[in-house]
Structures are given as C-alpha cells and as structure tokens.
Amino acid sequence: MRRVLILGGTAEARGLAGELAADPGLWVVSSLAGRVTNPRLPAGEVREGGFGGAAGLAAFLAEERIDVLVDATHPFAERMTASAAAASSATGVPLLVLRRPGWTEEPGDAWSRVGSLPAAADLLATGDWRRPTPRDEGRARVFLTTGRRSLALFASVPGVWLLARSVDPPEPPVPPNVHVLLDRGPYTVEGERALIREHRLDVLVTKDSGGPMTTAKLAAARQLGLPVIMVNRPPLPAGVRLADTVAAAVDWVHG
C-alpha cells in the first residue's frame, strides 16, 4: 500500500483526497495547518497542526514511511511550499505541487498588479489606482480580501476605510477604520455587486488566489468599473513539479 501525504486546506486538496481515498491501494492522510476554525474536512485520515518547518516535515515523512507528497496548500502559503520542497529534497520523497490556475484580466478590468502585500499597501497609499472622481472626498473606501493576517498592514495606510472580509475574525483590537465582515465563499456576482454599492467602495485589494469560489468579486468590480489591486503569487521553489488540476495530480500519484 502506497502512503500519500497531502498538505491541504484548499478545495483542490479535498478533491484530491476524495479521489485517492477511494483507491484501496493507497493510504491517504491530509495535513491541515489548523489556522481556520471549523475547516471543511477531506476524506481519509486528517492530521492538524504544523510540522515545525522543513526538518519536522522531513522527520514525519521518514517516520510515517510516506511514498508520495502533494502540496495542495493555498497559492500564497509560500513558507509551507518551501518546507515541502526542502523536505522532499532531504528525504527523496517525490513532491508534486497542486495549484489551481491564477486569474487573468478580461475586457473592462482595471487591474494594477503588484508583487507583494506591502507593495499593495504602498500603491494604496499613493492613490495611483484612483477613479477620476473619488466617491468620498479623497477618503478611499477599500474592499480588502487578502486575509485577516494582513489587516494591520493595510489599516496603517493613512486616509483609508477598510471593509475586511475573512473566514475567521482578526486578532483584537480591530482598528477603528476597519469594518470586519465574516463570510465564506462561494459568492455570487449579484451579492458582491450589492456589497460594493452598499458600502460605497472605491477599490478592491485581493490576492491572485485563482479558482471559481471567489471570482465573483472580480466580475462585480468589472461591471461597476471598480479598480483592482491584484497581488501576484509568490514564485515556486526551483525545480518542483506542478499540476494545475486534481485530475492531473491523481494521474501523477497513480503513475
């Protein structure tokens, strides 16, 4: 029986676990970081909590006699992917990175791409993304969907009001210029459009996560002429094998 470890937490990871767990020739365990309250659990065995970096992951691979490692974490889980690459190199366990494709601009989009979250905050501060006529006398009303851990970075930008949407609440205290909206996708274009209008939002700041669950905000921004500050994905470690669909990952594991 081949032993497969999936570094999970995404819809693709759950889909992969469901496909592989149905194979009687595979023993599948999914590892969740434990950062989300009440996560959606995949099929097969589940392990929660970190490994303690690359060395800890390498030790787990050896102790559990793992044959195949699949990193299906979030496209912005840069540290985990680096640890997976290092652990694979140290142990010889083959590694596949499963990443859904990123988003691409469509006609009518007004995107400004940046290389990092700090670069997005810097661009927000300059005002270079602005409409010709701001809605609120120069005070930018920002739709922030970059995750609760980045909230402090954007809340410190002068002259902004933030509608920050996340699955779990941020650590208190919440700055006075921030309104937190707790919600989990998938979302609808109609709902996102109504949200933008209700809060009179001027700009969307988001990460290029890809996938259909949260793409509705981009369609709503396009329809309403809302500028978007898009944070590009971090680069993958050199030499890793990449799959962009669950089906391709299943074929690789079986092969």
Q: What is the pLDDT of residue 41?
A: 87
pLDDT tens sequence across 149-197: 999 999 999 999 999 999 889 988 999 999 999 998 889 999 999 999 9
- pTM for the model stands at 0.89
Mean model confidence pLDDT for the chain: 93
Q: Are residues 33 and 97 in the same domain?
A: yes
Q: Are residues 184 and 125 in the same domain?
A: yes
CATH of the domain at 66: 3.40.50.720
Q: Are residues 9 and 27 in the same domain?
A: yes
Enumerate residues 6+ apart whose C-beta is below 8 A from 68. 2, 3, 4, 5, 93, 94, 96, 253
Q: Is 14 contained in some domain? A: yes
Structure tokens that stand for 217 in this block: 């905000």
If one counts the domains in the chain, the total is 2
Task: Judge whether residue 135 has pLDDT over 70.
Answer: no
Q: Are residues 133 and 200 in the same domain?
A: yes
Q: Is 93 contained in some domain? A: yes
Q: What is the pLDDT of residue 107?
A: 95
Task: Judge whether residue 213 has pLDDT over 90.
Answer: no
Q: Are residues 89 and 115 in the same domain?
A: no
pLDDT tens sequence across 19-48: 999 999 999 999 998 666 677 889 889 999
Q: What is the pLDDT of residue 164?
A: 97
Q: Is 106 contained in some domain? A: no
The DSSP H or E segment spanning 60 is: helix 53-63
CATH of the domain at 163: 3.40.50.150
Q: What is the pLDDT of residue 205?
A: 98
Q: What is the pLDDT of residue 105?
A: 95
Instruction: Give the structural domain span for 72.
Output: 2-101+235-254
Q: Are residues 122 and 216 in the same domain?
A: yes
Q: Are residues 213 and 246 in the same domain?
A: no
Q: Are residues 181 and 239 in the same domain?
A: no
What percent of the chain has pLDDT above 70?
Answer: 95
Task: Judge whether residue 130 has pLDDT over 90.
Answer: no
Cα separation of 113 and 231, whole Å?
Answer: 6
Q: Are residues 121 and 84 in the same domain?
A: no
**Mean pLDDT, residues 41-67:** 94
Q: Which of 207, 209, 206 has its CA nearest to residue 226?
A: 206
CB-neighbour burial class of residue 119 (10 A; exposed 0-12, middle 13-18, buried 19+): middle
Q: Is 72 contained in some domain? A: yes
Q: Is 74 contained in some domain? A: yes
Cα separation of 94 and 140, whole Å?
Answer: 47
Q: Are residues 243 and 224 in the same domain?
A: no
**Mean pLDDT, residues 61-85:** 97
CB-neighbour burial class of residue 66 (10 A; exposed 0-12, middle 13-18, buried 19+): buried
Q: Are residues 44 and 124 in the same domain?
A: no
Query: Where residue 8 falls among pLDDT bands split at 50, 70, 90?
Result: very high
Q: What is the pLDDT of residue 127?
A: 86
Q: Are residues 129 and 220 in the same domain?
A: yes
Task: Judge whether residue 215 has pLDDT over 80.
Answer: yes
